[in-house]
Structures are given as C-alpha cells and as structure tokens.
Structure 1
Amino acid sequence: MSREPGGSPANRPVRRALLRDPRLLVRLGLWSAVEAAPALVIGLAVARAIDDGFAAGRPATGFAWLALLGGAWLVAAAGARQVVLAVAAIAEPFREDLLGHVVESALNQATASVRDTGSRAVARSNLQVELARDAFASVVMVARSFVFTSVGVLLGLATLIPQVLVLVLPPFVTGLGLFLLSLPALARRQRSFLLADERTAASVAAMAGGLRDIAACGAQERVARAVGVRVAEQAAAARALARMTALRTLSLAVGAWLPVLLVLAGAPWLMAQGTGTGTGTILGALAYVSQSLAPALGNLVQGLAVSGVRLRVSLERILGDDCPGSRPAAARVRGRDGSAELRGVTFAYGPHAEPVVTALDLSVPDGDHLAVVGPSGIGKSTLAALLTGGLLPGAGRVTVGGVPAHRLDPADRVLIPQEAYVFRGSLLENLTYLARTPGNPEGTAEVEAAVAAIGLRRLVDRVGGYSAEIRPGMLSAGERQLVALCRAYLASARLVILDEATCHLDPAAEARAEEAFARRGGTLIVIAHRLSSALRARRVLVMDGARVWLGGHGDLLASCPLYADLVGHWTPSDMQEQMS
C-alpha cells in the first residue's frame, strides 16, 4: 500500500472522518466548550465563596458563588449529551468506511486465491472494525475534553492568581511529554498482542474444526502443544503490554499530582505575592488542579494509552501492509459474454469433508435463464459462490465468459445473496452503486425504468425520493432485497445470479423481479426459493448430492424423481398463487 510522505495509511481514515463535515466539528467544539464550563469557574467560585463570602461573614455571597458553580454543572450536563450525539455522528460514518474497506479486501482476496480469507476477514469485520470505531469515538471524547478542560483551567488560574502557573505548568507539561514519548512503545506492545491474539484464535478455530480427525489420528498431544505455543505467545505479549502501565503511572504522578504538592508547598509564597490572596485562593487553585486538570490528564493518558493505541493498531491491521487485503490481487480480465461453464468441478469445505459438488459438468450459454433447485443444504449456494469466484474448486475449472471465475472482472457478474446489503447513503447511491456512473443524476431515466421494472416505486415515494438518505434499519428485509435487485438490474454485468434473493418478497413481487431480469438480457441464474422460479426458467438444474439433472420443466417431471416429488408437494391453489 502506498504511503503518504511523512504519514501513515492509518491516519487517512481518521482525517477523512474528522474533515468529512466541518459543521460537525464546529458543533462538537461549541458543545465541548459548554461542557467545560465547570473547569473554568470551579476554582474561582471556591475562592470567592470562601474569601469574599463565608470567611468575610457574608454567607449569602458564598452561597451565590456556589450556586454559580452548580449552574455551571447543570449547563455542562446538557452540553455532555450533545457532545455524545456529535461524536456518534462522526464515528458511525468512520465505521462504515472501514467496513467497506474490509468487505472490498475480502472480495479481492477471494478472487485472488488468497487462502484463509474467511476467518481473517471475519475477524477484521467483527472485531477490529468494532474496536476501531469504539476506540475512535473514545479518542475523540478524551482529546477534546482534555483540550477544553486544560484551556479552561489555565484561563481560570490566570484570572485567579497568575503566579500559580509557574508551579503548575512545568510538571504538567513534563508529565504530558513523558506520556506522549511512550506512545510508540505502547503501540508496538499493543500490536504484538493483537497479532498474538489473532494467531491464537486461528489455531483454536482450526483445532475445533478438526477434532474428529485429531482424535482419529491420535494427534491430541501434538495439536495441544501447537496450540499451547500460541497461547503462551499471547500471554507473553499481554505481560509485556501490562509492564508499560508503569510509564503511564509515572506520567500521571509528574503531570497530575506533582502540581498539587507544589501548590501546597508554595502556598506561603503565593499568599505573599499580593493582597487578596487568602486561604480561599489557595483552595481555589487546588480545586482547579485536583478537580479539573488532574482528571483531564488522567483521562487523556488512559484514553490514548488504551483506546488511542488500539485505534492505531487496529487501523494498521485493517489498512496496513500486513493486512492480507493489501496484497496485490491477480489481474482482472473482462469476459467475452455472460456464459458460464463448469468442467469436472469438485468442491468440499475441508480436506477431509464430504464433497458438496462432485465432478460437475455444466454449460450455461450466454442469454440462458437457469433455475437451480434441490433440498436445503445440498450445495446450491456453493454453486453460486463457485460461479462468482468466491470459492475455488478443489478439482476442475469454472469459467465465465471464457475467463477463470476467480479472475473475472467484477463488472462482468453480479451476485445478490439472500440477505441483501444496503449501506447508509442516498437511495440513488444505493441503486447506482454498480452502474457505470454511480449516483449520476443524468441516468435518472435509466433508473426510473429499473425502478418500474423491479417494482420499487412505492419505496421511492415512501422514503422521499432518490436523494433521501436511507439506512439498513429503516427498511424491511423485502425492501432491502428490492433495492439490491434494482442495483443488480442497473449493473453492466452480463451474468446475474440471484441466490434466494427474493425470499423475503411475496410470490407476485418475486415473479415481477425475475421476469424483469429475463427481459433485461444477459444470463440469469436463479437459486430458487420457490419452485415457481423453475416454471419461469428456460432450463432447470436439480441438485441432489452427487447427482444432478438438467432439462426443462416437463422433461424433468418425467425423468427426475426428486423434481417430480418437489412439484408434487404443490397443491393446485399453491400453483395458482405462485404463478399469479
């Protein structure tokens, strides 16, 4: 992966998230200033309440200053709520950017024949992306709190008694500097721990998946030793990381608590600096340091030492050179058409597992409409993954348009799975994501035609038009499928595979969508959810373990007992409903 001069790939998504919408930063800054109000007034309120109020025999004045401090806390509480909302608005798009990168990397690995794609991609998407999002939000929270609290404290001290800054600033800056200098070492320790954790998880998963073979071969002790080595490596990495907490403790001692001691020790000198410096002033200065500045530095040290380092390491694992997704993929080749061919294809999920597909020969000419039916779990989705290059056959070859499926340009084929993906963005961006000109308003006529063909008009009107922002949670499963189907319809791909992509639609909507794709042109392969899909197809592939049948509906009724049995479960009313 290319690196910017003096920069790191890990910095780019952070900058992009922070600068995506400057208005969010302004909003965050304003509410952070409101939240930091107590840091500005706490020492001044305590000093005036004591010196000008209670110590001077004017309790009303003392209570008035304390009421001012209480009001500042109420204002800060309101500001804190808005700060959380502003940080969430920045962090969620950051997460979606990372997740998009992980998905793209996993697909690149799958089509580039990189092994162990599944477990590592799942680990990144389920663990590291969530860690990065949470760590990013935490870092933003503690960093802006530290900045605004520190500024408030320094302004308050300068207003209350400027001479105290001589006692507070040097140790504070020294402690902060010590901590910042220790961050690179912390990052290395954290990175080593995450790598060890990932290796341990992979070895344990491999062991769990092969327990039967391990027992059959009597390899329990050997496997236990191999896994034990990984566990020991992770434990050593964890101990090394824990030792770094000593530096954090030293930084806090110097930067947060040494100023408290210096203020106490320097109290006589401070009181001798001028008139009006009484006991309340010293207590106010101590309140600034102990109740605002020390906690702010403590939160920064804890936040950056844990969340900041975790964010950096997670981003490096997702985006950096040691991320498998950054390996160059094999060159993509455009296919000549939408034809697909399998010759002697065998595939099994593991070296000792029973094959899901065995010595399969299949030719799907360009422009064909094929339905694939069979019992659940028989290998229909595996066939779809082989055709798209997501899985590599253990034997035989799979070509699409004359090109090996795993090297085919993604623009030449599109797969819509059962659980359709919708990302946060405008409806138009979702619909045209696979089109030649994604999101181009000039393609409105083409988009309108696709919406009409698939049956998406009601959804377009419901959400408020093509420019309306949508999120997965605001759409039903059926609506998400319609969006994905329309996206595939607008793609330039000559091969379209629907892997139970209409399972959440009613029979009429399903029929409308499949007929639209049949009229669209190109090759259509439907992994059938309902048997009515077979009646609409030109040919039907029936899968039953090692045996397959291929033919038209009428031919299969006479020659394939399984197909006849599947059709026989339909009642006349079912037939009428499915085909209406």
Structure 2
Amino acid sequence: MKAVVRFTIAALRRRARPLGRLAGWSAAEALPALLAGQLTARALDEGFLAGRPGVGLTWLGGLAVAVVIGAIGTGRAYARLGDIVEPFRDELADRVVTGALHRSTAAGARPDTAAVARLTHQVEIVRDTFAGLVMVVRGFVFTAGAALLGLFSLTPVVAGVVAVPLTAGLFLFAAALPAMVDRQRSYVRADERLGETASTALTGHRDVAACGAQEVVADRVGRQVDRQAAAERALARMAALRSLSLAVGGWLPLAVLLLAAPWLVRRGLTAGAVLGALVYVATGLQPALHALVQGVAGGGLRFAVTLDRILSSTAIPPPPVRASPTRAAPTPAVPAPPDPVRARLRGVTFRYGPQARPVLDDFDLTLSDGAHLAVVGPSGAGKSTLAALLAGLLRPQAGTVRLGGAPVDGDPVVLARHRVLIPQEAYVFTGTLLDNLRYLRPDADEHRVTAAVDRLGLGALACRLGGLTATLEPGALSAGERQLVAAVRAYLSPAPLAILDEATCHLDPTAEATVELAFAARPGGLVVVAHRISSALRARQVLILADGRPMLGRHEDLLARSATYRELVGHWRAEPATAPPARPVTCAGPSA
C-alpha cells in the first residue's frame, strides 16, 4: 500500500490550489457544526428558560442563517471536486496507457490486452472512490474539527471528556485498516479467480462433456466458489470492527456526556450548555465519524486495492544498465553477410491451451530469398496460426522462429524490418490516401507510390477518390477496397517478407492475381494463406496443413501425394493462374 499512499499524496500535492479552494468552501460548509451548540445554548439559557422567547428565536434564526451558508458551501465544494478528481483520473489513465505501450513494445513482449479493462473499468472505479474518499475525509476533518472547537469554546472540560473516546475510536479503526485492506484484496482476487474458472468452464463446456469431465470441472469451480465465499465472510467480519470503532468513538462520548450531566450542572454548567454539548456530539462528531468509517471501509478499501493493482500492473521497469564505453575498447564490428534465408522455423510446437492438441508439432520450415509459398488446408487447420507465428504475433511453446536471422521474440522494431503482415480485416485510417499508403514507408517519393498504385491496381480507386491527396474515409470504402489500400501499403514497406493472411479474400480473382503476382515479383519472400486454388497454382511451393501432418511440395506433386489436397482442390473453383498486367490509370485532379 505504500505505492498507493505515495501516488495519492503526490497527486494531491500537484493540486494544491484546487485543494485550497475546496478547503475554503468546506470551512463554510462546517459553519453550522461550529455554531450549532453555542447558538442552541444561548437560545435556551438567554431566551426560552429566561422567559424571553423572542431572544431564543433570534439565536435559532442565526443558526438557520449558518445552515444556509453551510448549504452553499456544500454545493460549491462539490463543484470544486472535479478540479481534483478529473486530473487525478487523467494521470492514472496516462500511466495505464504508457505502461501498456511500454510492455507491448518491449523485447519479447505480447500485447497488453488487459489495458483496456484497466482503462475502462478499474480507472473509473478509482476515480469514483477517490472522489468519495476526498469528500469523506475533508468532511470529517472540517466537521469534527468545528464541533470540537465549538465544544471547547462552550466548556473545555466537556471537550476533553468527549475527545478521549473519539480518539480511541479513531485509533481502533486505524489499527484495523491493514486487516481490512488484506481482506478486501483477498476478496477481489478470489472473485477474479472464480470468474476466470467459470468462464473457462463455460467456454469449453462441449469439450468437458465430450471428455466426461463434468464432475472434475464442477469440483474445480466449486472450490473457487468456496474460496470466494470464505473471502466474503472474512470481509464481512470486518464490519464488527467498524461497529466497535463507531461505538467507542461515536456513541460512548454521548453516553459519557449524559452520565456526567448531573455532575456538570453541579459544577455550574447551565442546562443550555449541556444541551449545546449534546448537539455538538449528536449532530457533529457522531455523523462525521460514521461517514468517515463507512466511507473509508467501503469505497476507501476499493480505492486502495484497485489502485494498488493498477500501479503494480503498469509499473515501467528501469532501463537495462549498459556498460560504460570507457571501460573497454569496443571490438570493431564486422558486417555480417546478408542472410539469404527470410524465415526459418525449427521444431516449432504450438497449441491453444496446455491440454489442447497441437496445431503445429515439431514443425520445420525454411523460406529462402525469392520464396513464394501458398498455405492451404481446411478451416481450423492452423493456417492463420502459422502466419501469426511467422509475424511474431504468437510465441511457440517449443522451437524457434527466426526472420532474417533475428528471433521473433526480439526487438519489435527490428522484427518489423523483416516482415509485413496483411490480415484479412485490413486497417485503414482517416486521412489522405497518400498518408495511408506511406504509413510503413514515410520516405517513399511520389514516383514510387504511383508505381505501386498502378502495379497493384489501385489506380481506379485513387481516381474515384480524387487523387492521392484526397481524404480517405474508411467507412466509405468496401472491404475489398480497404484490402487494396492495405496491400499497396505493405508493398511499399521495406520489409522483405510479406505475409498475406487471406488478405485478398474480398477481391475478385483478377484483382487477387494482380496483387499476388506483384508481391511475388517483389524482392524478398511471399507467404499467402490461400482461399482459392489459383493462389496455389501461382505459388512456387504449396504447404498443406491438415490433421497435424503438414506436407510441402508443388501443386502437381501434392495432387499425387495427398488425398486431403485432392479433396480440398475439388471443393475449390479453378481460376486462371495468371492475370493480365495492370495498366496504369490516369485521372484528372490532384495526385500528390
């Protein structure tokens, strides 16, 4: 919890001026708590008991004015709360995003998919509970302080008598807070584990039923239910400590004051002063303590636990310590010869889940410079999985994947220099067509971009949009048009290995052939996850994935060797293996 305290205090220090304005309006809000006992005592002693009801009503009228001022202060205090809470939320959201980006782009890292949950759910929990905590704590400080100050001005002896049990109740509550935090944290973790276990069981209910594992899975989920229930009971027991602290700090002063009333009257305290002291305790100290205990024990614990989880999950590790260049003379670097192998997989095994059947098992593949590979197979055979492994989006459980000699779990920046992936759902952003096309190669000149547009058949779309400098709206494009834009963008990329994961599925056969032939003629290598027989006919080699037994060869060889391939080809509609070369399209209007 130290990190939570440090983070919160630092955030509050940066908001010193808004805190000062909030404190000013809180002081106005506490005016009734400061004057209630005094004005009540005056109204009783100098007015109603003295036979002058007008004087008594005048004093009570003053109390009514104080209540109106306090109400105005309450409204203004809530208005000032946003100046503290919203910047706090923004800082936390910035930390979540920064941490997620740092982790996702670190060497060997995977995308932080939990960042969205932290940003949309946990950050909002912290924001709301932080706002409640600020209001509760400042309310107690100003209301209890005003009541004690008013009580002291009325009779110092009573103030001392009341302050002792109030302090004891606060001490008891503070001593129980660490245990409350632990119970809250255990409850949150047990609830999360129960959700994960139940979700896994529901997602795989068909496999569970097929394997006859209902009792095993039910027992596993049941244990998590029992743990969650035990954590909730332990958290509920903390309510007894809260009630005890409230009894000691809130109700005991009231009982002590009532029992000591005769003694106080004998010492010269007036009836109005006794009633005023009761007003201070009953309407000031007791409600303030109750609000503090309930607020901190409820929203405060959620704030501490949730913020602690966010801070621990978004902490950015320090940069690695690099050796000083002055300690040893650097060895002259010998430039390595260019690696003719674009991709090499050795002993790769990948499965979705520890008990699942491997999609790839001890799989080897080598793609040399100039390779043109089509990957085919029935749905679910692992074609897109292989593409994701080659692109470094998935990590194998065993074996190695290297691109141009670099491991795919290395620096993502280095990895991006070796491969470019075009997925089935193409990404196009709002901006000029030129910006979209040069996204992976900002230094591409107009001539290079125009040549790529003409080579891949994007010229007609560019003309319809109004040229390369025209603004592109993703929603106004069809799925095939978005795929063409993404294809030209990847074609311009400096990465030598292009991976097309059904990236032309929304194009007609002629346009698909144009794109694939353009990439095949591009220096480097090409991997096509095919969905038409024509892609396999154009490829130099075909890899069929089926039943965990991959087979590599040319189209004609696989027709003779693989019954699965023959059956798959029989379900495909044959298309021309070649396509007429795309002719440049000339259009009027701005281009670039």
TM-score (norm 1): 0.65
- Residues 1:558 and 1:204: Cα distance change in structure 2 (over 3 Å): closer
SS in 1 for 2:3: coil
- Residues 1:273 and 1:404: Cα distance change in structure 2 (over 3 Å): farther
2:227 corresponds to 1:269: no
CA distance in 2, matches of 1:535, 1:578: 19
2:274 corresponds to 1:308: no
1:88-140: CA deviation from partner (whole Å, max 9, x where unpaired): 33233333433444445555665576899646x56644544333333322222
- Specify the alignment match of 1:480 in structure 2: none
- Residues 1:393 and 1:174: Cα distance change in structure 2 (over 3 Å): same
CA distance in 2, matches of 1:294, 1:554: 80
2:30 corresponds to 1:71: no
- Residues 1:216 and 1:143: Cα distance change in structure 2 (over 3 Å): same
- Specify the alignment match of 2:234 in structure 1: 240
CA distance in 1, matches of 2:590, 2:387: 24
Instruction: Report if the CA contact (8 A) 1:319-1:326 is conserved.
Output: no
- Specify the alignment match of 1:490 in structure 2: none
2:484 to 531, 535, 556: 531
CA distance in 1, matches of 2:30, 2:400: 65
2:290 corresponds to 1:298: yes
2:18 corresponds to 1:18: no
SS in 2 for 1:9: helix
Quote how far apart the aligned CAs of 1:553 are. Answer: 7.9
Instruction: Report if the CA contact (8 A) 2:103-2:112 is conserved.
Output: yes
SS in 2 for 1:52: helix
CA distance in 2, matches of 1:327, 1:519: 31
1:240-285: CA deviation from partner (whole Å, max 9, x where unpaired): 11111111111111110111112222222323333xx433322221
1:433-481: CA deviation from partner (whole Å, max 9, x where unpaired): xxxxxxxxxxxxxxxxxxxxxxxxxxxxxxxxxxxxxxxxxxxxxxxxx
1:552 to 511, 518, 539: 518
CA distance in 2, matches of 1:390, 1:85: 47
5 Å-filtered alignment, 1:38-49, equals 38-49=32-43
SS in 2 for 1:520: coil
Mean CA deviation greater in 541-550 or 168-177: 541-550
1:207-233: CA deviation from partner (whole Å, max 9, x where unpaired): 222222212211111011111111111
2:477 corresponds to 1:511: no
- Residues 1:113 and 1:544: Cα distance change in structure 2 (over 3 Å): same
CA distance in 2, matches of 1:364, 1:61: 102
- Specify the alignment match of 2:168 in structure 1: 174
The amino acid of 1:544's aligned partner reads E
Quote how far apart the aligned CAs of 1:82 are. Answer: 3.0
Instruction: Report if the CA contact (8 A) 1:112-1:329 is conserved.
Output: no
CA distance in 2, matches of 1:29, 1:149: 12
1:379-436: CA deviation from partner (whole Å, max 9, x where unpaired): 99999986885543567766678543433166x689xxxxxxxxxxxxxxxxxxxxxx
- Residues 1:326 and 1:385: Cα distance change in structure 2 (over 3 Å): farther
2:309 corresponds to 1:317: yes
- Residues 1:401 and 1:103: Cα distance change in structure 2 (over 3 Å): farther
- Residues 1:72 and 1:400: Cα distance change in structure 2 (over 3 Å): farther
The amino acid of 2:301's aligned partner reads V
The amino acid of 1:529's aligned partner reads R
2:278 corresponds to 1:286: yes
- Residues 1:134 and 1:576: Cα distance change in structure 2 (over 3 Å): farther
CA distance in 1, matches of 2:429, 2:504: 30
- Residues 1:521 and 1:53: Cα distance change in structure 2 (over 3 Å): farther
- Specify the alignment match of 1:147 in structure 2: 141
Quote how far apart the aligned CAs of 1:536 are. Answer: 6.1
Quote how far apart the aligned CAs of 1:519 are. Answer: 3.8
CA distance in 1, matches of 2:205, 2:7: 41
- Residues 1:363 and 1:54: Cα distance change in structure 2 (over 3 Å): farther
- Residues 1:495 and 1:146: Cα distance change in structure 2 (over 3 Å): farther
The amino acid of 2:143's aligned partner reads T
Instruction: Report if the CA contact (8 A) 1:343-1:396 is conserved.
Output: no
2:466 corresponds to 1:543: no
CA distance in 2, matches of 1:80, 1:193: 35
The amino acid of 1:514's aligned partner reads L
Quote how far apart the aligned CAs of 1:154 are. Answer: 1.3
Quote how far apart the aligned CAs of 1:171 are. Answer: 0.9
Quote how far apart the aligned CAs of 1:495 are. Answer: 9.3
CA distance in 2, matches of 1:164, 1:74: 28
SS in 2 for 1:266: helix
CA distance in 2, matches of 1:397, 1:132: 42
- Specify the alignment match of 1:87 in structure 2: 81
SS in 1 for 2:2: coil
- Specify the alignment match of 1:406 in structure 2: 409
5 Å-filtered alignment, 1:366-405, equals 391-393=394-396, 403-405=406-408
Quote how far apart the aligned CAs of 1:287 are. Answer: 1.1
SS in 1 for 2:432: helix
The amino acid of 1:509's aligned partner reads T
Instruction: Report if the CA contact (8 A) 1:379-1:543 is conserved.
Output: no
Instruction: Report if the CA contact (8 A) 1:175-1:252 is conserved.
Output: yes
Aligned length: 465
Instruction: Report if the CA contact (8 A) 2:107-2:409 is conserved.
Output: yes
1:97 to 91, 94, 99: 91
2:209 corresponds to 1:215: yes
Instruction: Report if the CA contact (8 A) 2:341-2:366 is conserved.
Output: no
2:48 corresponds to 1:54: yes
1:455-512: CA deviation from partner (whole Å, max 9, x where unpaired): xxxxxxxxxxxxxxxxxxxxxxxxxxxxxxxxxxxxxx9999999897452xx62434
CA distance in 2, matches of 1:151, 1:193: 35
Instruction: Report if the CA contact (8 A) 1:171-1:258 is conserved.
Output: yes
- Residues 1:261 and 1:403: Cα distance change in structure 2 (over 3 Å): same
Instruction: Report if the CA contact (8 A) 2:34-2:146 is conserved.
Output: yes
Quote how far apart the aligned CAs of 1:179 are. Answer: 1.0
CA distance in 1, matches of 2:111, 2:442: 39
2:55 corresponds to 1:32: no
Percent identical? 42
- Residues 1:263 and 1:501: Cα distance change in structure 2 (over 3 Å): farther
- Residues 1:57 and 1:312: Cα distance change in structure 2 (over 3 Å): same
CA distance in 2, matches of 1:340, 1:303: 64
CA distance in 2, matches of 1:104, 1:364: 38
- Specify the alignment match of 1:372 in structure 2: none
- Specify the alignment match of 1:202 in structure 2: 196
Quote how far apart the aligned CAs of 1:235 are. Answer: 0.6
CA distance in 2, matches of 1:145, 1:406: 53
Quote how far apart the aligned CAs of 1:534 are. Answer: 3.5
Quote how far apart the aligned CAs of 1:362 are. Answer: 7.8
Instruction: Report if the CA contact (8 A) 2:406-2:415 is conserved.
Output: no
Instruction: Report if the CA contact (8 A) 2:426-2:483 is conserved.
Output: no
CA distance in 1, matches of 2:212, 2:489: 53
